[in-house]
Amino acid sequence: TREPGDRDRGDFRGAARLRMVQNTQGDEGSCATAAGEARRIMEMMTFRKKQTVDAATLAQTVRTVVVDDRVASRAKLKEEPFRDGPPSTGPGLPKNKVTTSLYTWNIFQIWAIIPLDLWRQFHRAANVYFLIIIVLQMINKISITGGLPTVAPPLALILTVTFCKDAYEDYRRHVADHAENVTVTHQVDLVTGEVKDVHWQDIEVGDVIEIRNRELIAADVVVVESSDPNGLCFVMTANLDGETNLKQRKVHTDMKHDPKDVLKRGVTVQCELPNNRLNTFEGTYQTGTASHSLGAENVLLRGTQLRNTESIKGVVIYTGAESKIQMNNAAPPVKMSSMTKLCNVETLWIITLQATFCLVAAASAVTLNYRDDVKCNMYIWGPKDNDLANWDRANCIQHTSIGEDKVAYFFIKFFNYVLIFTNFVPIAHVLTLDIVKLMQSSFMENDLKMYHEFKDLFGVTQEFPMVARTLELSEELGMVDYVFSDKTGTLTCNVMEFRKCSIQGISYGLGTTEIGRAYRERNNMPVEAEVPPLPGDKQTPNVNFRDPDPSDRSRPSLSKVISDPGNPRHQGVHDFFLSLSLNHEVLPEKRDGQTFLSASNPDEAALVYAAQHFDRRFHERKMDDVRVSVEGVEQSFTVLHNLEFSSKRARSSVIVRYADGTIMIFTKGADNVVKKRLSADTHVNPPDVYQATMAHLDEYVNDGLRTLLVGQRKIPDAEYEPWAAKMHAAEIALVNREEERYAVMDEIELGLELMGATAIEDKLQGGVGDTIAALRDGGVKVWMLTGDKVGTAVNIGYSCQLINLEMNMLRCVAGEDAEKGVQEGGVADTVGLTDVDKNGVPMTDVLKAHLDSLIHAHDAFQQEQERVNETRRRDQVPLLPPKESCLVVDTNALRGVEEAMESGKDSEVGQLFLKLASRVKSVICARVSPKQKSKIVAMVKESLPLKVTLSIGDGANDVPMIQTAHIGVGIFGLEGQQAVNSADFAIGQFRFLKPLMLVHGRWNLRRCSLLTCYLFYKNALLVLPQFFLGVRSLFSGMFTWYDLVYQWFNAVYTALPILFVATFDQDVNADIVMKYPSLYKDGLERKFMTHGSFWRWMFEGIMHGVVCYFFVEIAMGEDVVQSNGKAIGLFGAGIVMLWLVDLVANLRLGLEILYWTGYEAAFITVSILVFYVTWSVASSDNDFMVSVGYPNIVYGTMGWMMNGSWFWFTTFLALTFCLMPMYTIYVVKRSFLPSRADIGREIASGWINGVKQSEGSKTGGQRASA
């Protein structure tokens, strides 16, 4: 006998005994059936036994929530472990308040923000460096400023600007947090039945809340009651994933039949610990009499919106920071641009150089100043006890100052020169670079050439401007070596149209696609004419199906077959489209009186619309009941199980019960997966039907269509019931639920009858071919990563100009695709690649030999090309253009490479693959999974550390790939905004990658390179005259600069010109760059900034420092006296040097400007005038400068010097010696060794090869020159 609750508790022994007794009363066949039944039940019992978890393990792996009992729930939460993450949490958090701001914004604690932000800012090495300088400046023995911290004002300005920026951003987060925390929801008291309004922040784990239509969900909740009689509800998850289609959620089937036991204080929910997986959930709802499995379809997540449902009630399981939406807000991987890395290295070298200068100065001071003839120099040692009047030169040898301690004197002089060389490292480099990148990103976002809009299915205009989500990488866009692109939704529109199908070995549907026409033209095949729609043809969204004319009896007509019940093919066609109308997760959505099919996957919507087109219309889904109208007659089907699609399974199935009790399973999925699950019985799957269907698949692949195989099977009750029990046990498993469910699903999806195949077109986006061709011309290697079959991927590659007929195609394809031999223009696969293991992965030795043969084939091809060109060169015949190669690789070959590298079996395999991939121009990776995409990117990124990678995609499955690459670009697609939210940059379509990289990326790279080199150059120019003064003054440590000008040199006197130039300057205009993509190679060849170019600027700064110091020294001599009888002195000479330094620094920048608008000249002039005014004020007879802390040490110098011809002559000579060499070099280079940019500017101005072009011939001349 069997207790009523046996099945719910997983005890099936009574049922097993009962069935065996019943079966033994029959014949021998029944006994065999009984034995098989017993084995299945015993297997299920063993399976349940594996799921038994001890209490200690349970507490560490499962959250227990006590419904409507806060005290008990809090106690359970405290038992949870700390979890490292990411993101890290634990033990359990009961409160629902969310705080994303860094600081506490209230009247009592607002003042604590300042020290906290300062603490954060002083985690930056540059700020710590200048803080140390301030401390050193306040030590009198080493100070060059009389103990005044003159670096403090510039540093305070930088800290203040940064603090204001940080505070503003954090306050905005605080306002958003507060608005969310005080949103109202409704809490239910299960004892009194009272429903009261509460703020979101007052909700706790275990509470029961009521959510009403169009309200946002306050926390992650398990749905336990719905106003819908079938227990359904609908949510929009746009806040989670950007998808606006409605998704169905439901109360568990068994729970809705007994709401009193479910909504009862003290019952428990056991579920997985908080995590960031949005699409999965494992839990059980345990009442006093039963345990109900919970999945993702039973949970509503915080931030989603309830739609089309009056109200629901749910039990809160995750709150606040532990809700899934908050756990997905974890910081993305930190990415640092190549320039930032290079700057960090160069900064360390500059600091090393600075330390070297300081050591040389200190060592020289000790060596020189301890000589007897020097110890009597008062300006070196000063009078004893500062008694100048009683200075006794004869007794100076007995001077007993600190100078007697050489070690102490060495360190005093060392730190003395550290202070003198303070500005060797630009104090505002990072801040200036951040400001420039902010302005650059603003211009990128407002570029109308990267703005996209379209009208969606409901007629609403969707706007997608370019969005820069990461400022750090704006210049990195100008040096991308590898682009990894998804296909669906990235290269294609992701707007699916049902074009053709194969049913029972017969192909239906006429016409071809753009890809199909290109394929036929390449292979000299007749091109099928486009078939216009027939008069009266039905118009259905996402369906572009063409039947032959009714009078044409030579071609099969699907309309005729499906409308004629007497046709022998009618039943097969009916079952095919019925399966499409049942096997999906599409929901009908009404808007403006019309019904639309809402689907997260556009393929599913197209297939359901196709079934509707042929009068198998999906109407509605009510709990486990699906209603389909078949030729106007509504039929109801009970859905027993939805075996959902996942990238791992690559298929989906539905098990339904017909009205007569028949149980059927319908499966659709990738052909390589479904083929393995077809019945081997030739009566079920006749060989001729199977072969015909496979041939049709190849035809559809040549048309670039997306294909799926469709299968079905009738399931006997005797097989279904034990399987369902095993499935139930897997669904309530406490550990490894997903793996166990997938294993049970595999058992039922076997022995299928092949019904046919579907073919869906996903058209290429506009401009894709032009963009890829431009990237390739610019030297970028483009990889297409797709889940399509090899043939489909290759045909799409031709259509989007990723590959062409001139290329030598190298194939590294394993398994069934390897047997198809040579592709057009390509190298055949060796027979050895068909030698694979049970998983289809080629053997390591075979793979290595094949890769080596492909490398040799590529090299031989290149050598032959060089030999032909050598002959043509001798014959003075135009050379042939370089011959390029492409590589086609599939998932099995990639798995072989990955396994060899990961296991350490043979690292040479990975090296050979990367060696081959780096030599070809384009790579196509077919049948790859989302996980493989990220592995491919990581493999290239790690193995080629000097190369920059960019990944671009539009869906959630592209997120790992986007985050792995140096630069991630997301496309605003129809699959939500997960890719956009995880990317560094977001664009509306793939074609915008061309202006993003070729125009803005290249401009930004050059601008940021110029900014960095120039800032270090002018600081070297500023500080090195002090070193040369040390040479003349026995390194006494005397400071000749007027400190006001010295400290504000970077922030005031030279800041505006470089800020403007680094934001707006263009070496070539956008139209020329777009027309001649080869200009992008400047970035790939690292011509804008390298170690060499950086140190060329530094050498130039050193030489200009030499000129500015020695020209002043020579001009002024040793005893220059003003007209008032006073000597010019050290500081008078210093102000003249600073005048030259300011002029040279500003005018040197002018040599780099290539896009003059007039503002540049204005800013340079203003900067020089500000210096002039400062000098004028400091030189005048007033106490203002003294009152603000700057001694009047340059009084009267300006008037005397400005009136002297020697001053202007010295200025002219210094500018000539500093600027003329570089000006001459630039003129000669641009005249005789022009760069790509130089030629581009000539073309823009209408000059081709030194000849001015007329307007009519300019375009042709440009192309000929290119």
**pLDDT tens-digit profile of 1224-1244?**
999 999 889 999 999 999 888
Continuous segment of H or E residues that includes residue 706: strand 706-714
Task: Of 32-41, 575-584, 959-968, give the lowest mean pLDDT range.
Answer: 32-41
Mean pLDDT of 306-326: 89
CA distance 241 to 236: 10
The token pair that represents 193 in the structure block: 């039945």
Cβ-defined contacts of 442-447 (< 8 Å, 24+): 443/1000, 443/1063, 444/468, 444/474, 444/996, 444/1000, 447/995, 447/1000
- Give the angle subtended at the CA of 70 by the CAs of 64 and 71, to the nearest 5°: 90
Residue keyed to tokens 């030729």: 631
Lookup: tokens for 735: 């550990």
Q: Is 1043 in a helix, a strand, or coil?
A: helix
Beta-sheet strand order (sheet of 299-300):
195-199, 184-188, 208-212, 311-318, 220-226, 299-300
CA distance 862 to 855: 11
pLDDT the model gives residue 1182: 65
In which band, very low, low, confident or very high, does the pLDDT at 483 lie, cut at 50, 70 and 90?
Answer: very high
Q: Which residue has the tokens 């990367």?
A: 914
Question: Reduced to 3 states, what is the DSSP secondary structure of residue 1062?
Answer: helix
Residue 658: φ, ψ to 5°: -75, 170
Residue 90 is predicted with a pLDDT of 66
Burial tier of 972 (Cβ tally within 10 Å: 0-12, 13-18, 19+)? buried
Q: How many helices (H) and strands (E) does the chain have?
A: 45, 38
Task: Please report where in the chains the tokens 């990488």 appear, as a residue.
Answer: 473
CB 643 within 8 A of CB 654: yes
For the chain, the average pLDDT equals: 82
Residue 140's alpha-carbon distances to 145, 148, 412, 983, 1256, in angstroms, are 9, 9, 10, 52, 74
DSSP letters, 275-338, are ---SS---EEEE-SS-EEEE-GGGEE-TT-EEES-SEEEEEEEE-GGGSHHHHTTSPPPP---H
CB 355 within 8 A of CB 105: no
Q: What is the DSSP letter of 419?
A: H
Q: Cα-flanking dihedrals φ and ψ of residue 767, to 5°? A: 80, 0
Burial class for 1213, CB neighbours closer than 10 Å (0-12, 13-18, 19+): middle
Closest CA to 771 of 581, 557, 989: 989
Helix axes 1129-1150, 1205-1232, angle to 10 degrees: 30
Asked if residue 1000 lies in contact with residue 447, where contact means CB atoms within 8 angstroms, the answer is yes
What local confidence, expressed as pLDDT, does residue 214 receive? 87
β-sheet with 291-294: strand ranges across:
62-66, 268-272, 283-286, 291-294
Partners of 711 in the β-ladder: 667, 754
Average pLDDT over residues 654-673: 93
Per-residue pLDDT averaged across 356-385, rounded?
A: 75
Average pLDDT rounded to a whole number, residues 1154-1165: 92
Average pLDDT value for residue range 471-475: 88
Q: Give me the mean pLDDT over the 76-84 stretch.
A: 80
Burial 687-701 (b: 16+ CB within 10 A, else e): eebeebbbebbebbb
Residue whose tokens read 């560490």: 60
What is the dihedral sign for C-alpha 1104, 1108, 1113, 1115?
positive
Which residue type, as a one-letter code, is found at position 757?
A
Alpha carbon distance 527, 517 (integer Å): 6
For the sheet with 232-236, list strands across it.
Answer: 246-250, 232-236, 305-307
- The one-character DSSP state at 601 is S
**For the residues 181-201, what does the mean pLDDT come to?**
92
Give helix 1002-1032 / helix 406-420 axis angle, nearest 10°.
140
Q: Provide the percentage of residues in the chain whose pLDDT is more than 90.
A: 33
Question: Which residue in 169, 30, 55, 96 sits closest to 471, CA to CA?
Answer: 169
- C-alpha–C-alpha distance, residues 368 and 357, integer Å: 16
Amino acid at 286: Q
- How many CA atoms are closer than 13 Å to the CA of 36, on its beta-carbon side? 11
Q: Work out the average pLDDT over 148-176.
A: 82
The tokens of 965 are what?
Answer: 């690459």
Prior bond of 149 cis (ω within 30°): no
pTM recorded for the entire structure:
0.79
Closest CA to 255 of 205, 290, 219: 290
pLDDT in tens, 889-930: 988 888 888 887 776 555 788 889 989 998 899 999 988 888
| Separation between Cα atoms, residue 198 and residue 95, nearest integer Å | 13
Q: What is the pLDDT of residues 111-147, one digit of tens each?
A: 778 888 888 888 777 788 888 888 988 888 888 777 8
C-alpha to C-alpha distance for 1209 and 1225, rounded to whole angstroms = 24
Lowest mean pLDDT among 142-151, 724-733, 767-776, 1224-1233: 142-151
Place of tokens 């990103």: 441
| Cα dist from 143 to 113, 138, 1038, 1151, whole Å | 33, 6, 10, 37
pLDDT band at 1017 (very low <50, low <70, confident <90, very high): very high
519 φ/ψ angles, rounded to the nearest 5 degrees: -60, -45
| pLDDT tens digits, one per residue of 952-1000 | 988 777 888 998 999 999 998 766 677 887 888 999 999 999 999 999 9
pLDDT greater at residue 255 or residue 1204: 255
* Mean pLDDT, residues 1039-1051 taken together: 77
3 state SS of 931: helix
Q: The tokens of 311 are what?
A: 């109200």
Q: Is the dihedral of CA 86, 89, 95, 101 positive or negative?
A: negative
- Residue 594 has which token pair? 């019309």
Beta strands in 765-884 (DSSP E): 781-785, 808-812, 826-827
Q: Which long-range contacts (CB under 8 A, 24 or more apart) does 585-590 make?
A: 585/248, 585/642, 585/644, 586/618, 587/234, 587/245, 587/246, 587/247, 587/248, 587/621, 588/618, 588/619, 588/620, 589/245, 589/246, 589/308
* DSSP reduced 3-state for 655: strand
CA dihedral 38, 39, 42, 48 (to 10 degrees): -130
**Distance between CA atoms of 60 and 274, rounded to whole angstroms?**
12
- pLDDT confidence of residue 84: 63
Half-sphere exposure of 760 (CA within 13 A, CB side): 27
Query: What residues contact 172, with CB distance under 8 A and at least 6 apart?
Result: none
Would you place residue 1076 in the very low, low, confident or very high pLDDT band (cuts 50, 70, 90)?
Answer: very high
